[in-house]
Amino acid sequence: MKVGDLITATWPDGVKVSGYYARTERGYVILLDQKTRTEVPCSAHSVHFEMGDTMEEIETTYLKKDESSPTWVTVAWGIFIGLIIGKWWWG
């Protein structure tokens, strides 16, 4: 495991936590919880770990910008509303 790897930890009772690998400390694997961003200690001996994507791959997926330009309908409505407000404001 490398720092930033997405790991799913499963305990013997069925509880699952998805998080990013932070470090190994005193026999415990420390994960950074994906939802709450808190540290979750996991026993390396009793918890089953599954590898997922890396933090960089997930962040680039979330950071993709919508590069679509406004449609002609949006532009037409903007001009129409502008004319109405202008006529009302200035008489």
74: number of CA atoms within 13 Å, CB side?
4
Q: Provide the 8-state DSSP code for 14.
A: S
- Domain range summary for the chain, segments of one domain joined by +: 1-63
Top CATH class of 1-63 equals mainly beta
Q: What is the pTM of this model?
A: 0.56
Give strand ranges (E) for 26-86: 28-33, 39-43, 48-54
Per-residue pLDDT of the chain (91 residues; tens, 9 = 90+): 788 888 999 999 999 989 999 999 998 999 998 888 899 999 989 999 998 765 555 555 445 555 566 677 778 888 888 888 877 777 6
